[in-house]
Amino acid sequence: MKSEEFAAAMNNYRREEGPLHQKSYAFAVRIVNMFLHFTNEDWKLQAIYKQVLRSGTSISANVHESEFATSAADFSNKLHIALKEANETIHWLKLLHDTNILDDKCFTSMYQDCDELIALLVSSIKTIKHNNHLKN
């Protein structure tokens, strides 16, 4: 996709309506609320809490950054970063669950939301690759 075509496509994009935009932001809000809850419980685990806060909110930040990417490659790169952050977040959620910090209900809900984000990101990245392949 040429830069001009990409810019035109991005101008027509209604980012607030996109499911990836909405779900990644809602997940970031949940992560922040979870972090605020945990920091009051045990200061010894703050390093882990900060890791899940960083990776969990980074998903949304990178999705939002991708929306105004300068090229299709930049757009794809930001989504790849968001995907890596989502995968890292899954790791921290599992660790918090397996060490009995997160109860089953909270873990299952957070895990499912993050897993859904991963599926959306993978689908978006595949679509970008497919569309780029068709244009070349």
Longest CA–CA span in the chain (Å) reads: 54
CATH 1.20.1440.60 fits 3-135, yes or no: yes
pLDDT digits (tens, 9 = 90+) for 5-38: 555 555 555 666 799 999 999 999 999 999 988 7
The DSSP call for residue 40 is T
Q: State the pLDDT at residue 66.
A: 92
Q: Which sequence spans correspond to the domains of the chain?
A: 3-135
Quote the percentage of the chain above a pLDDT of 90.
Answer: 66
Confidence of residue 128 (pLDDT cuts 50, 70, 90): confident
**Mean per-residue pLDDT over the chain, rounded:** 88
pLDDT digits (tens, 9 = 90+) for 58-77: 999 999 999 888 988 899 99
